[in-house]
Homo-oligomer: A and B are copies of this chain.
Amino acid sequence: MLLTTRRQVCSLAAALPVSAFASSVQASEANAGAEKSPKAELSVLLYPGFETIDAMGPVEMFGNLRDFSMRFASLEGRVVKSAQGLPVMTEKFEMENASPLLLVPGAAPAFLPKDPRFFEMLKSAAQKADYVLTVCTGSLLVAKTGLLNGKKATSNKKALPMVMKAVPQVDWQKKARWVVDGRFYTSSGISAGMDMALGFIADRFGEAEARRIAGFTEYRRIADPSDDPFAI
C-alpha cells in the first residue's frame, strides 16, 4: 500500500529541526541516511488552465518538509499547461497511486473542468485521501462532487458569488484566508494557498516546522486563518 496513515503523516513532526537553507541540501543526501522515516506524499491534481501559484505555492511549502514526496497527476497523464503557460509533465491518475494528501488548484471560470470523468476521478481521490486541500476555485470543483455538502468552506473572494450560487449546499465563508472543516482545508484565492499550506503544516507537523519553512522561503506568512485582507 502506498497510502501512509494519518498517524504516520503526523509522526514527521518529531523530526529534528534543521537549519533552514541547509534543509533541501540535506534532503538530497538523505537517501543514504540510517533510519527511514515514513514518507508523506501529496498528489497535485492538474488540468489545463489551472492557476500556477494555486498549485506551486503549496508545492513549495510542502516540498520543504523532510522526507516528503510529490506526485503530479491528471485525467489524461500528459503535459498539462497552466493558465500562465507553465507546462507540467503529469502522470495519469490511478486509484492505486492516490496519496494521503490531495491538492486541488483552482482556475478562472473559463478554465474549470467540465468533463464528468474529471469529477469521478476527483471524487475517488478525495474519498481516499486523509486530507483534501483546495486553493481558490478548487473548492468549487470538490463542492461539485457533493463531498463538501453541509461543510464550512471558502474560495476566491471575487469568485464567491458565482461559487455560492453553483453549490448552495456548502456553508461558504465570506471572510477567511482559509477554512478547516474536518479533513477539508479550503483556501481563498491563489496566494492564500501558501498560507493554508503553512497552516496545515503547523496543524500536522508543528508550528516550529511551519515557521522554519516560512523563514526559509522568506515568506511573510498570514498565520491567522481569519485574517483575510481580500474579503469583500
Contact = CB atoms under 8 A, between A and B. Distances in A.
Interface of A: 20-25, 27-29, 49, 51-53, 56-57, 59-60, 62-64, 69-70, 72, 79, 82-89, 108-111, 156-159, 188-192, 194, 215-220, 222, 229-230
Which are the 7 A-B pairs with shortest beta-carbon distances?
Answer: A63-B84, A189-B218, A56-B56, A70-B85, A191-B219, A87-B89, A25-B110
The secondary-structure label for the interface of chain A is mixed
Nearest to A195: B220
Contacts of A159: 21
Nearest to A69: B85
Given A20-B158, A51-B60, A89-B89, A84 B108 contact: no
A217 to B, nearest CB: 4
15 contacts: A24-B108, A25-B108, A25-B109, A25-B110, A28-B83, A52-B56, A62-B84, A63-B84, A70-B86, A188-B218, A189-B216, A189-B218, A191-B219, A192-B218, A220-B220
Given A156-B218, A220-B222, 19 more contacts: A20-B158, A21-B108, A22-B108, A25-B109, A25-B110, A28-B110, A28-B111, A52-B63, A56-B56, A60-B190, A87-B88, A87-B89, A157-B218, A158-B216, A188-B218, A190-B218, A191-B218, A191-B219, A192-B218
